[in-house]
A and B are shown apart, each in its own frame.
Chain A
């Protein structure tokens, strides 16, 4: 007996899908994969903007302060050495003690 159910089964058995081949399919897939892998630097920075901004402020501020402090310390040491040299040249009490 040829019921509607048997008819549908027969149609499904005979059905063949023949989609048109996409020659760009493989390339398109790899392109999408690589796009994910190759995240750009600006994109990375934008996604970590807060942390890197904070780090930049701290590091640059610290470096600026250290540079100035180092220069001031050197100036202090130079001045200290020069005051002593100057007074040694100028002070007869020192001259008297240093001369044989």
Chain B
């Protein structure tokens, strides 16, 4: 009985050590650190193995995209407010409302096109394999626009 318990204990300790070792070998500390900080650029660098030059190029692309992103954001907000005003107006001008809706859809489409172009440019700076993986991660979300509901939860979790 004494040897049975002793052997079992040794085996359990060895299993725990093996599990921990395999976890440490498989885990990506850089990715986890980036996620903990919620730092997108650090994530890009760690997860897509960017060299210094690639990172600089990607950062430049992001910086040059930022103003157009701001502008898109502003016009979408304006169009949304215009549509809301028409919806809440008592007049019920159906034609104007349809035009506002159409304008909003057009703006969102144009925004999606610009964003898709931007992420393709970013992917082009990466190695082909990493670029493909990056596009596979972000493009479906941009197309499906399914990252609006989750961010608050994710941001809270990550920060």
**Is the pair B73, A88 in contact by a Cβ cutoff of 8 Å?**
no
The answer to whether B11 touches A55 (Cβ under 8 A) is yes
- Stretch in contact with the other chain, from B86-94, B95-103, B145-153: B145-153
| Interface: B59 (CB within 8 A) | no
Tell me if A64 and B73 are in contact (CB < 8 A).
no
Interface size on A, residues (CB 8 A): 44
Q: Which residues of A contact B24 (CB under 8 A)?
A: 67, 71
Chain A residues with CB under 8 A of B115 = 90-92
Main secondary structure of the interface of B (DSSP, over half): helix
Q: Which residues from B are CB-within-8-Å of A91? A: 69, 111, 115, 142, 145, 147
**B77 an interface residue at 8 Å Cβ cutoff?**
yes
Complex CA gap A18/B44 in Å reads 97
Residues of B within 8 A of A86 (CB): 40, 43-44, 138
List residues of A (32-90) whose CB comes within 8 Å of B's CBs.
39, 41, 44-45, 52, 55-56, 59-60, 62-68, 70-72, 74-75, 77-90
B 119-148 binary contact with A (CB < 8 Å = 1; else 0): 100000000000000000110011001011
- Residue among B7, B12, B26, B148 making CB contact with A97, cutoff 8 Å: B148
Count, chain B residues at interface, CB 8 A: 58
Contact of A45 with B141 at beta-carbon distance under 8 Å, contacts A85-B40, A92-B76, A93-B108 already known: no
Q: Is the CB of A89 within 8 A of B40?
A: yes
Nearest CB in chain A to that of B79: its residue: A96
Q: Is the CB of B27 within 8 A of A71?
A: yes
Decide: B154 and A87 in contact? CB cutoff 8 A: no
CA distance A95 to B6 in the complex (A): 60
Chain B: residues with CB nearer than 8 A to chain A?
3, 6-7, 11-12, 14-16, 18-28, 31-32, 34-35, 38, 40, 43-44, 47, 62, 65, 69-74, 76-77, 80, 108, 111-112, 115, 118-119, 137-138, 141-142, 145, 147-148, 150-151, 154-155, 157-158
Residues of A in contact with B (beta carbons under 8 Å apart): 39, 41, 44-45, 52, 55-56, 59-60, 62-68, 70-72, 74-75, 77-99
